[in-house]
Amino acid sequence: MTILYDRIFAGGTLVTPNGIGTGNVAVKDGKIAAIGDVDVSKAAEITDVSGLHVLPGVIDSQVHFREPGNEHKEDLETGARGAVQGGVTGVFEMPNTNPTTSTKEAIADKVARGTARMACDFAFYVGATAENVEELATLEREPGTCGVKIFMGSSTGSLLVGDDDTLERVLRSGTRRVAIHCEDEFRLQERQPLTYEEGGVHNHPVWRDEESARLATERLLRLAKRAGRRVHVLHVTTKDEVPMLAAAKDYATMEVTPQHLTLAAPDCYDRLGTFAQMNPPIRGQEHQDALWHAINQGIVDVIGSDHAPHTREEKANEYPATPSGMPGVQTLVPVMLTHVANGKLSLERFVDLVCHGPQRLFNIAGKGRLVVGYDADLTIVDLKRKQVIEDSWMENRSGWTPFHGFEATGWPISTILRGMTVMQDGEIVAPGQGQPMRFMECLPQA
């Protein structure tokens, strides 16, 4: 019998652009070679995935792996280990690291370290500053780069583009979709004294209030339309931003996070204290309800984790002397599959938000879909498996998760990268296999 395929994943329930149904996925040279009723006798290796769902490899389009090489901080290696442990095959990493990813040399260094150390595929954002505006059009096309990131409000790190003149200059420099953290820096500075009032971390969403987000998004949309630039608003948190973004779908897209869809104030601050602190903040139930409505109405384009860990010691300080951010890449899949199990969204919509959506928005080459010719990146999950998320499961250096004690329904069983098993049943079996993602807008010329 002629061997046509390197490997066949047999008998799984496949989530493809054609719908959901049982079939096989055949792999040849790291790519999907056939889907459906494929003869398993023609494969060198057969992996039985019957009873499991086979999704396209999940892409987390917002992670912060923080400082490289510091034994107490997240880095590319530990962050990627958390990704594949949670069923994520690719990540977009943010530029507010040390040093910031805002020069050609820094990008090349990140790509080299990622290739050497990361277990998942990756791409890196370029951080926009007032100093590198003239270079952004070139930097956004560097290999391994997913685009430009703008911080309109100060967060962790030194990157900030607060004023309209600089923001418009950034928007006019380049052509790829730009990702933006929308909080109004001037309002944040004005309201910062509120952080010292009685109430501690409960003041975090009071300081960084709904109006700071609304003002920034309103300013961004006005300037982006004037500049003719596609923009992607990250971690949207307020009910007021949703209709604004719905009215700007011709040039603006929207991300939400599992944290903002699952945790709500004041309960999260009562239970978790500063461990629930992130930017923009977790807000009240009415805002969470608006985000779910936006998902159900098709307004939300992607879900990203905004993975941004800090140590327990840092988080245990007294607010406001505490950093914002929490781990998220490893828990994205089980938390959102639990919402699927609870009827909050369909499996098809989940796949659109974490696979098809990132591919479509950022023009990722050959990833994010179960189709012939694409990379054989697979997230294989058991939708019926119930398991409690625990701190001890976490791969990140900080060793904690805001979802400790959360009973998940739906769990990642295998993480497959270009046809090769990277994680199986909770064990990372092939670390260091990551490669930089490619993008159709800037493929190298022959």
Q: Residue 162: pLDDT band by 50, 70, 90 thresholds? A: confident
What is the distance between the alpha carbons of residues 255 and 177, in angstroms, rounded to a whole number? 13
Question: What pLDDT sits at residue 180?
Answer: 97
Domain boundaries, the chain: 7-54+373-430, 57-362
Question: What pLDDT sits at residue 153?
Answer: 76
157: pLDDT strictly greater than 60: no
Task: Indicate the pTM of the whole model.
Answer: 0.96
How buried is residue 314: exposed, middle or buried, by Cβ count under 10 Å (0-12/13-18/19+)?
Answer: middle
33: pLDDT strictly greater than 60: yes
Q: Which of 75, 121, 209, 306 is catalytic?
A: 306
What is the distance between the alpha carbons of residues 89 and 417, in angstroms, rounded to a whole number? 6
- Return the CATH superfamily for domain 57-362: Metal-dependent hydrolases (3.20.20.140)
Buried/exposed code over 275-305 (b: 16+ C-beta within 10 A; e: otherwise): bbbbbbbbbeeebbebbbebbeeebbbbbbb
160: pLDDT strictly greater than 80: no
Q: Residue 301: pLDDT band by 50, 70, 90 thresholds? A: very high
Q: Residue 97: pLDDT band by 50, 70, 90 thresholds? A: confident
Question: What pLDDT sits at residue 158?
Answer: 55
Question: What pLDDT sits at residue 102?
Answer: 87
32: pLDDT strictly greater than 70: yes
Question: What's the farthest any 2 CA atoms get from each other in the chain?
Answer: 75
168-198 residue pLDDT tens: 999 999 999 999 999 999 999 999 999 999 9
How buried is residue 240: exposed, middle or buried, by Cβ count under 10 Å (0-12/13-18/19+)?
Answer: middle
What is the distance between the alpha carbons of residues 443 and 89, in angstroms, rounded to a whole number? 21
48-81 residue pLDDT tens: 999 999 999 999 999 999 755 555 567 899 999 9
309-365 residue pLDDT tens: 999 999 999 999 999 999 999 999 999 999 999 999 999 999 999 999 999 999 999
78 three-state secondary structure: helix
Buried/exposed code over 246-264 (b: 16+ C-beta within 10 A; e: otherwise): eebeeebbbbbbbbbbbbb
431-444 residue pLDDT tens: 889 999 999 999 88
Which residues on adjacent β-strands are paired with residue 307?
63, 326
306 has catalytic annotation: yes
Note the helical H segments in 297-423: 312-315, 332-341, 347-351, 357-362
Q: What is the mean pLDDT of the chain?
A: 95
- Please give the share of the chain, as a percent, with pLDDT higher than 70: 96
118: pLDDT strictly greater than 70: yes
Are 56 and 300 in contact by the 8 Å Cβ rule? The answer is no
120: pLDDT strictly greater than 70: yes
pLDDT (mean) for 133-146:
96
Sign of CA dihedral 150, 152, 156, 158: positive
342 three-state secondary structure: coil
276 three-state secondary structure: helix
392-431 residue pLDDT tens: 999 998 999 999 999 999 999 999 999 999 999 999 999 8
Question: What pLDDT sits at residue 125?
Answer: 96
* Residue 79 parent element (H or E): helix 76-85
- Please give the share of the chain, as a percent, with pLDDT higher than 90: 91
96: pLDDT strictly greater than 90: no
Question: What pLDDT sits at residue 154?
Answer: 67
What is the distance between the alpha carbons of residues 147 and 187, in angstroms, rounded to a whole number? 27
Question: What pLDDT sits at residue 418?
Answer: 98
Question: What pLDDT sits at residue 155?
Answer: 57
Cα–Cα distance list, 233 to 77, 86, 154, 230 (Å): 27, 25, 15, 10
386: pLDDT strictly greater than 60: yes
Kindly report the CATH number that applies to the domain delimited by 7-54+373-430. Answer: 2.30.40.10
